[in-house]
Every structure is written in structure tokens, then in C-alpha cells.
Amino acid sequence: MSKIKSCGKKGKPIKGASTISQQVAKNVFLYPSRSWVRKGFEVYFTILIELFWSKERIMEVYLNVIEMGDGIYGAQAASYTYFGKKAIDLKPSEAALIAAVLPNPRKWSPRYPDSYILKKKNRILNLMNKWGGSLDLND
């Protein structure tokens, strides 16, 4: 019996696909290696997080621990590193650039966005405008 692998674009096997709660569990409570034991603990902590934390708390913790570049952890650190200001002071286009480099902030940079990242930034800005009211998309 052969194994069936899920494939993404260009026929490459899909990696990751963790929920935000799983990423929080892994980044906050666990060690970085990959093993079935660690995966078991990840499931355990993810269930606890989902049971006891609000969605807002999960997002708050996620945004404070997510890797945003080599040695850059959290949205605030990314804001200072890439734009020299607090996250609260970012323009919508700057915040969208930071978000656009996910899930691979070591490959892409908000400081030097290529055409792919600029397209993602524009999609994010359109969603921000749709979900959050009016934004000046030309900031």
C-alpha cells in the first residue's frame, strides 16, 4: 500500500499547516525539536489553550512570540526593526508588509519586498479595509 502525500503548488509536499493555537503551544511551552513526544505535548497544550484562553488572548500571545525574521520575535520587535517605531504607530501599509512576509520571514523582508510580497500586502490592505472600515490605501 503506497502513502499518499498532500501536495501544494509546484507539487511539493505541504509542510506545517499548524493552527495559531498549535503555534502558540509550540513556541511558548515546548522545545524546538521535532518528535512524536513533542507533538503529543503540543496537542495537550493546544487543547488547554483552546479551553482556557479567549481568541483575543491567543492572538495577543501569538503576536508577541511569532518569529518575524532572524532573531526578531513579536510584532513589536518587527515594527522597531523594520520601521523604527512602535507597532501602534505603524501605517496600515507597514503593518500589512509585516504580515505579508508570513509564513517565511527569513526568506522575505518587509524592508525589501519583492513583487510577490507587494501583491500580498495589497491583498491584506484590501481585507483590512473590508473588515475594519475605511483605510487610506495610499498612506
pLDDT value at residue 135: 53
Residues in the chain: 139
Beta bridge partners of 69: 72
Mean pLDDT across 85-93? 94
Q: The whole model's pTM is what?
A: 0.71
**Residue of 40, 14, 13 whose CA lies nearest to 29:** 40
Question: Does 5 score more than 60 pLDDT?
Answer: no
What pLDDT score was predicted for residue 1?
A: 37
8 has pLDDT over 60: no
CA-closest candidate to residue 44, choices 54, 29, 55, 34: 29
Q: 27-83 pLDDT, tens per residue?
A: 899 877 888 999 999 999 999 999 999 999 999 999 999 889 888 999 999 999 999
For the chain, give the mean pLDDT: 84
